[in-house]
Structures are given as structure tokens and as C-alpha cells.
């Protein structure tokens, strides 16, 4: 057994752990996008409900401050709807590369290291694992950027919807008292 066998085992195990973690993060970033889409869909249903209530109150011919609050609520709901649709707009997520590119990379490494003597297979495996980690890091970074945009749009949609709901509740309270 070579002197550096323990070091090689450690590197292989460490790379494997890092790679597993990267693949888990990669999967989670895509699942987060799906979760944001579901939340935006639920928010669109709430926007529709509040918009119906706003239209109902406006149809009743409220006057004064209530009228202006309802107009403001309508404008806020249009903005909230726009941000919800921006969140739902289809985006491309970066998915793992097809196996063919991995097979091609293995062949490249084999050809490169075939030119050198006394190269252990674990060195090629380590190099390939580094490549996979790099690919996963790139995917995660790109997918997180997509999710940040989606999340920010959803956040704005929520705040505008909440403010419109407050306007509607204020109008309701003014009508009751």
C-alpha cells in the first residue's frame, strides 16, 4: 500500500461528501422554485377574491374617503397581480448535464493521464469529482439567481395585496360605523 493511501482515501471520501451536499442543494434550488410558484398561485386566488370585494364595494357607490381607498386598493391589486405573474413567468433552470458530457470528460481525463506514468486512478477520480462539484456549484448559483428574482416578485405581490386588503377592511369598517 503506498504511503499516501490514507490521504487518497480521505480525499475520495471528502469529495464524495461535498458532492452529495452539492447535489442536495441543487435539488433543493429547483424545489424552491416550484414552492414559490405554488405560493404565487395561492396569492393570485387571494388577489381575485379581494378584487371581487373591491369591485362590489365600488358598485355600491361609496363616497368620500372610502371611495378613494377602494380606488387605491384596485391600483394596488393590479400591481400585485403583475408581480404575481412576473413570479410565475416561465424561467429556465439549469439542470444537471446529460451523462454524455460526463462520459466525454472521463475520456478526456483518461487520455490526459495516459500520457503520464504512475498515475493512480484515484487521481483521475478526484479530478472528475472536482469537475462535478464545479458543475453543481454553477447550477446552484444560476438557479438561486432565478429564485431570488421569483422570491422578490412574490414578496412585492404579497405586500401590495396586504395593503389592498387593509384598504378594503378600512372601507368595511367605515361602512359599519
pLDDT of 49 reads 95
Looking at the structure of the chain, the number of domains it has is 1
pLDDT means per 10 residues in the chain (177 residues)?
62 74 83 92 96 92 91 97 95 71 69 68 71 83 92 97 96 87
pLDDT of 61 reads 84
The boundaries of the domain holding residue 56 are 5-176
pLDDT of 133 reads 80
Exposure string of 21-52, with b = 16+ CB inside 10 Å and e = fewer, is: ebbeebeebbebbeebbebbeebbebbeebbe
**Is the pTM above the cut of 0.85?**
no
Amino acid at each position: 500500500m503506498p504511503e499516501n493511501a490514507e490521504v487518497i482515501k480521505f480525499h475520495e471520501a471528502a469529495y464524495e461528501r461535498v458532492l452529495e451536499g452539492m447535489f442536495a442543494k441543487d435539488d433543493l434550488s429547483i424545489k424552491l422554485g416550484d414552492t414559490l410558484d405554488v405560493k404565487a398561485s395561492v396569492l393570485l386566488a387571494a388577489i381575485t377574491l379581494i378584487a371581487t370585494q373591491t369591485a362590489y364595494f365600488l358598485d355600491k357607490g361609496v363616497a368620500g374617503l372610502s371611495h378613494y381607498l377602494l380606488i387605491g386598493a384596485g391600483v394596488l391589486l393590479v400591481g400585485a397581480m403583475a408581480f404575481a405573474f412576473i413570479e410565475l413567468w416561465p424561467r429556465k433552470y439549469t439542470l444537471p448535464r446529460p451523462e454524455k458530457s460526463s462520459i466525454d470528460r472521463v475520456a478526456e481525463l483518461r487520455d490526459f493521464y495516459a500520457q503520464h506514468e504512475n498515475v493512480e486512478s484515484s487521481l483521475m477520480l478526484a479530478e472528475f469529482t472536482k469537475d462535478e462539484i464545479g458543475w453543481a456549484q454553477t447550477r446552484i448559483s444560476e438557479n438561486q439567481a432565478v429564485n431570488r428574482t421569483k422570491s422578490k416578485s412574490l414578496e412585492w405581490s404579497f405586500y401590495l395585496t396586504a395593503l389592498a386588503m387593509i384598504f378594503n377592511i378600512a372601507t368595511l369598517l367605515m361602512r359599519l360605523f
